[in-house]
Amino acid sequence: MNTPPSKIICVGRNYADHARELGNEIPDRPVLFIKPPSSLVALEAGISWNTAWGSCHYECELSLRIDRPLQGETDAQKALQAVGAVTLGLDLTLRDLQDQLKKKGQPWERAKAFDGACMLADWIDVSEVKAWDQLRFNFQVNDEIRQQGDTSLLIFNIADLLVDINQVFSLQPGDVIMTGTPAGVAALTFGDQLTMTLHGQTQDFVWKTFVK
């Protein structure tokens, strides 16, 4: 299924070690924000941003595709059944600008929802997920592992996230949820070669992109 998303819902601070590395408190409910479909950019296109706004950080995240409509669902199992595919994505963030916006108490969209701020790899059928709390992935910059994700370490697990999100936003087929990034975020530099690896049930899925 290739329905374009009506929205991409992102979860902030869902790994305690990442919240700490940016000096943020551990949240008592999920921190949510949205990227519009216009922020999507293909792996092959590579990453670019307006350098007048300062640094751009990578945040590699397990991402979910919703295949069935979901509205106000409170049953965790039913919510999970609406997920049809998974992949890895990059929640690209203009960190210097985001820091300025945070200090002023302003919304983050300028730093996180700009054109090119969301890169999603190819969708993998949900049958590759053995258990929602046992998914692991990693992110490499120029062959050095910078981030390691493990859904057993999420502050809010996938089922709880879906239920919480669905009390706020109805979900349509094609909608995407980015579940938060582990520690290790840092600034990208021109020419960086980036590799995302998702450990599936039967094989590893590997995707490459670059900073142009």
Name the site residues for Zn ion (rule: CB under 5 A): 59, 91, 181
Q: How far is CA 70 from CA 37, 66, 73, 135, 146, in A?
A: 19, 8, 6, 23, 35
Give 63 or 181: the residue with its C-beta nearer to Zn ion. Answer: 181
* DSSP three-state, residue 1: coil
Q: How far is the CB of 74 from Zn ion (least distance, A)?
A: 26
196 contacts 207 by C-beta, under 8 angstroms? yes
Q: How far is the CB of 68 from Zn ion (least distance, A)?
A: 25
Of 95, 127, 132, 106, which is closest to residue 18 (Cα–Cα)? 95
Q: How far is the CB of 89 from Zn ion (least distance, A)?
A: 9
Q: How far is the CB of 61 from Zn ion (least distance, A)?
A: 6
Give 98 or 166: the residue with its C-beta nearer to Zn ion. Answer: 98
> What is the number of alpha carbons within 13 Å of residue 75 lying toward its C-beta?
5
Give 59 or 73: the residue with its C-beta nearer to Zn ion. Answer: 59
DSSP 8-state symbol, 173: T
Q: How far is the CB of 92 from Zn ion (least distance, A)?
A: 9
Q: How far is CA 17 from CA 23, 24, 59, 172, 182, in A?
A: 10, 10, 13, 32, 7
**Closest residue to bound Zn ion by CB:** 91
Q: How far is the CB of 163 from Zn ion (least distance, A)?
A: 20
Of 169, 157, 152, which is closest to residue 66 (Cα–Cα)? 169
DSSP 8-state symbol, 170: -
Give 67 or 91: the residue with its C-beta nearer to Zn ion. Answer: 91
Question: Which residues, 6+ apart, have CB-to-CB distance to 79 below 8 Å?
Answer: 70, 73, 159, 162, 163, 166
Give 91 or 175: the residue with its C-beta nearer to Zn ion. Answer: 91
Give 73 or 87: the residue with its C-beta nearer to Zn ion. Answer: 87
